[in-house]
Amino acid sequence: MDSRTKNRLSDDVIAALVAEHFDGARVTALTELDGGMFNAIYRIACTAFARDIVLKVGVGPGVPLLTYERDIMRAEVACYRLLHERTDVPAPTVLAYDFGRTLIDADCFFMTALDGEPLSKAKSRMSPENLTQVKRRLAQYLARMHTVTNDYYGYPTDDPSRRYATWRDAFLGMFDRLLADAREHRVRLPYHDIARVLERHAGLLDGVAHPALVDFDCHDGNVFVRRNATGWRIEGILDFERMFWGDPLADLPPTFVFRKDIRDEPDFLAAFLDAGGRQVFTRDDDRRFQLYRLYLAVIMAAETFRYGRLYGAAQRAWAVMQVRSCLRRIEA
């Protein structure tokens, strides 16, 4: 997938980065990975490691971004560290990072490579029983992520004004900035209807007890699976750059982007609720799900300015359709 945000590097620059961070190591093989839609990503074999590593390169200077996307690579690196320190969720290990921008004009980091393949590609070859097992395990891993907590709500930040004491204030602030971004990029949305729904249903956000680590990008393309003698299993979860501190239910819409009702994934939902010590998915839970699905749909509409004309138009049309669907379901 091509995007204006991808900051591609030459082979020589990548070789210099590897040598700088791994004691003069030499690159022996190099491939750009094309699955992502935001960062340039490279799979590398080098003399410093017996297994391949991955280089992820941040956005270069002067490229327009949505407000929440600024410095998100730093949040991702911190998230990997938290997951390894506080959970058993399988994820790559960060090997080195450079936020000083001394060799290149962007943040970057190296991590261990996963050897499996995305669930999005593998699931068509799974038996229904195996796919159900994988979905239930994914639900359990998400619930374990949500045990990692923080002392404020919102996106990771050093700005005290954006460290919120309540999830209601955080989510409304996040949404306000996103809508401002959408307006700046001239995305046609039902802004008045969105504002009315947020005002009428903001009280649903008051029941969130603590700021949990929310991945908010755990779709099938970011879940890697491997096959063994007994079937497919989850090898690792990656791409935590869009994480924030908030309501665990917010992780459900990105995990099933094309689901309008999470109850259409009963095995996943049952495992998710059970891991969180709950048994019932209530009407208010569904409305919160729709609010987070609405937020995701607006993101998907607002970010299309950086894609090619045809792809951008197609995603924007689909996302706006989802916005209207969410508004109807919340108000139903």
Dump pLDDT digits (tens) for 66-111.
Answer: 999 998 999 999 999 999 999 999 999 999 999 999 899 999 999 9
Which run of H or of E encompasses 257?
none
* Rounded Cα–Cα distance for residues 52 and 110 (Å): 11
Q: For a pLDDT cut of 70, what percent of the chain falls above it?
A: 100
Q: What is the structure's pLDDT at 34?
A: 85
Please say if the pLDDT value at position 144 is more than 80: yes
The overall average pLDDT reported for the chain is 96
Residue whose C-alpha is closest to residue 70's, from 183, 157, 188, 180: 157
Using CB atoms within 10 A of its CB, is residue 31 exposed (0-12), middle (13-18) or buried (19+)? Answer: exposed
By the 10 Å C-beta count (0-12 exposed, 13-18 middle, 19+ buried), 121 is classed as: middle
Top-confidence residue, 11 or 229: 11
What is the distance between the alpha carbons of residues 305 and 313, in angstroms, rounded to a whole number?
A: 9
Closest CA to 306 of 18, 6, 4, 69: 4
How many other CB atoms are there within 10 angstroms of residue 157's CB atom?
16
CB 118 within 8 A of CB 19: no
Give tens-digit pLDDT for 31-48: 999 878 899 999 999 999
Q: Which tokens go with 57?
A: 């390169």
> What is the helix (H) or strand (E) element at residue 311, kind and residue range?
helix 309-331
299 pLDDT exceeds 90?
yes
Please give the backbone phi and psi of residue 32, each rounded to the nearest 5 degrees, phi first: -80, 130
Tell which residue, 308, 301, 309, has the closest CA to residue 326: 301
CA distance 224 to 70: 26
pLDDT of residue 1: 63
- Looking at residue 58, its pLDDT comes to 96
Give the integer Cα–Cα distance in Å for 115 and 151: 36
- What pLDDT sits at residue 3? 87
Q: Which residue has the tokens 């259409």?
A: 264
Q: Do the beta carbons of residue 243 and residue 69 sit within 8 Å?
A: no
Alpha-carbon distance of 90 to 237, in angstroms, equals 6
**Half-sphere exposure at residue 62, Cβ-oriented, CA atoms within 13 angstroms:** 1
Residue in the block written with tokens 């004491």:
165
- Kindly state the average pLDDT of the residues 285-300: 97
Give dist(CA 268, CA 217) in Å, integer.
16
Report the DSSP beta bridge partners of residue 33.
41
What the chain holds in terms of domains, given with CATH numbers, is 11-112 (3.30.200.20), 118-331 (3.90.1200.10)
- Single-letter amino acid, residue 21: H
94 CB contacts (<8 Å, ≥6 apart)? 77, 80, 81, 109, 110, 111
Backbone angles phi, psi at 168, to 5 degrees: -60, -50
Residue at token pair 């204006």: 4
Length of the chain: 332
pLDDT at 102: 86
Where residue 21 falls among pLDDT bands split at 50, 70, 90? very high
Report residue 64: phi and psi, to 5°. -60, 140
* pLDDT per position as a tens digit, 171-194: 999 999 999 999 999 999 999 999
Mean pLDDT of 213-220: 97
**pLDDT tens readout for residues 260-278:** 999 999 999 999 999 999 8
**pTM value?**
0.96
Q: How confident is the model at residue 325 (pLDDT cuts 50, 70, 90)?
A: very high
223 close to 237: Cβ distance less than 8 angstroms: yes
